[in-house]
Amino acid sequence: MLDGILSGLGTAIMPMNLLMVLTGCFVGTFIGMLPGLGPITAIALMIPITYGLDPSSGLILMAGVYYGAIFGASSSSILINAPGCSATVVTTFDGYPMAKRGHAGKALAIAAYASFTGGTLGAIMLLIAAPLLAKVSLSFQSADYFALMVLGLSAVAAFAGKGQVAKALMMTVLGLMLATVGTDRSEGVERFTFGQMDLVDGFSFLLLAMATFALAETLMSIMQGGSNEAQSGKELEPVELGSMKLTLAEVKEMAPTTLRSSILGFFVGVLPGAGATIASFLAYGAERNIANDEQKKEFGKGSIRGLAAPEAANNAASTGSFVPLLTLGIPGSGTTAILLGALLSYGIQPGPQMYVEYPDLFWSIIISMYFGNVVLLILNLPLIPYLAKVLNIPRPYLIPMILLFSITGVYLVSFNSMDILIMVAVCVAAMVLRILQFPMAPMLLGFILGGMLEDNLRRALLISDGSLSFIWERPITLSFILITAMILLSPVIRMLLVRYKASNERVAAKHS
């Protein structure tokens, strides 16, 4: 193993490969910043370029583009509430409110530091434990994945305000329902398409994300009189960048959050099919659940913890997703599926023997990830003042730009004009729901997990002959279900404890 690491280090520090890291990070960051274009698009654009490169250089370039795009997608999430990809949806919850409060520079800096920490810790853990983690990943069965998805759905409590858990649950169910539209992946039967060929493939995640966040936010700001100043003939005040420096108290607040979320994100990323999106939702939910009552009030309004957690988790998960790809030959996400295709095009079969047969390639990809995170930090911090200028673009110009990026991004996925009409319809429905104070995040979470939840439940039921005994027969499955029950019951238990404490105080007051 040590010989392999040294061989990989020698390959990674070759001038050509260092140039590939730099190029990949820069291109990935730029494409990630554009709403509607994510890491899948970025890597797909790189494939023709890699054909003329040797395997290590080509894969190092594409790996750099991958985590560069995740890193860069947070910028559009924070500045204009338009997630660059699904993994940065959670970043909008606290990043955008922080930017609106005049702390855009600080929000971008927190995202950069958290992303760097998550990516670096992920690369170190991957370096140390890749072969061992392959065995852990292989031990997971359909029942365990089903329980993990249920645990992910229990995070809805993190997106609900006080007394709004029922609304969050309803939106989660709506998301699960939307995930069933299209062709059944097991039976090949059309479901809820109403004879419309445009719905055969179901709804696009990008369509829902753009409609419920970027498009709805833009139109809501217009409806709420965001242009009153323009109507009265006054120029809009430029949005302040604010200080990029973090105080010692802020560093102390985000440090444990970043550490916890990096570890959680990495291990979620290791699981095939989980990926950076689920990792970011779980990390956000976990941080909100362990926060005290005072800190919980900040979530959704510009919380440092709420911004640092998903940023650390999604970058660590992006690194962790290379474990099933390189050691099992199983793509953990759509992005790593493209990387798998690139490996196969080079005549390399990833799997348990890859780090024995191709040690220089295997370890050079992992080591280059650390270099990539350093490059991303150096690249992004100086760009923050320029990125934040997006907020100073006059609204009459900024709003059409956001609409253009949103609509163009959705159209480029399928080249189907029907998707734009569906997007408008979803946007109108989202605006009505937002006016009624229904949270949008649980709906997206339900949609993201819906397909995987259904597939794994079906396989688990098939293995157990239709019995629900799979829930308690496997220790891993049972553990996830018990953790889910604890999370769902914690608000009730907390409420009962508060009432018990209040009644004791009343009794003590009477006696005194």
- Determine the residue type at 366: I
Single out the residue of 468, 472, 490 nearest to residue 480, CA to CA: 472
Using only C-alpha atoms, what is the Rg of the chain? 23
In order of 19, 55, 56, 502, the CA distances from 238 in angstroms are: 38, 48, 46, 48
Q: Look at the chain and report how many structural domains it folds into.
A: 1
CA–CA distance, 258 with 368 (Å, rounded to integer): 22
- pLDDT for the residue numbered 7: 75
- pLDDT for the residue numbered 233: 39
Domain-embedded: residue 68:
yes
In order of 198, 332, 426, the CA distances from 215 in angstroms are: 21, 30, 10
∠ CA 396-402-408, nearest 5°, is: 130
Q: Other CB atoms closer than 10 Å to residue 90's CB: what's the count? A: 33
Domain-embedded: residue 184:
yes
Q: Other CB atoms closer than 10 Å to residue 48's CB: what's the count? A: 8
Residue 140 tokens, joined: 């997971």
Residue 63 tokens, joined: 């790996």
- pLDDT for the residue numbered 258: 93
- pLDDT for the residue numbered 372: 84
Bridge partners, residue 183, by sequence: 190
Domain-embedded: residue 237:
no
Single out the residue of 410, 320, 305 nearest to residue 123, CA to CA: 320
CA–CA distance, 381 with 453 (Å, rounded to integer): 39
Task: Give the pLDDT of the chain (512 residues) as one tens digit per residue.
Answer: 667 677 777 877 888 888 888 888 888 887 777 765 667 767 766 776 777 788 888 888 888 888 788 877 888 788 877 776 777 888 888 888 888 888 888 888 898 899 889 888 888 888 777 667 666 666 777 888 888 778 777 766 655 655 677 788 888 889 889 888 888 877 778 888 887 887 888 887 778 877 887 778 778 777 765 444 443 333 434 445 666 778 888 888 889 999 999 999 998 887 766 677 788 888 988 888 888 878 888 888 888 888 999 999 988 888 888 777 777 666 666 677 677 777 777 777 776 667 667 777 778 888 888 888 888 888 778 877 776 666 566 767 767 877 777 787 777 767 778 888 888 898 899 889 888 888 777 887 788 778 878 888 888 888 887 788 888 888 888 888 888 888 777 767 777 887 888 888 787 777 76
Q: 406, 413 in Cβ contact below 8 A?
A: no
Q: Give the CA-trace dihedral at 30, 35, 39, 43, to 10 degrees.
A: -60
- pLDDT for the residue numbered 231: 39
Domain-embedded: residue 491:
yes
Domain-embedded: residue 231:
no
For residue 295, what are the domain limits?
1-225+247-510
- pLDDT for the residue numbered 241: 61
Domain-embedded: residue 132:
yes
- pLDDT for the residue numbered 259: 93
Domain-embedded: residue 16:
yes
Single out the residue of 203, 210, 278 nearest to residue 38, CA to CA: 210
For the residues of 418-484, what is the DSSP string, one character each? HHHHHHHHHHHHHHHHHHTT--SHHHHHHHHHHHHHHHHHHHHHHHTTT-TTHHHHSHHHHHHHHHH
Domain-embedded: residue 443:
yes
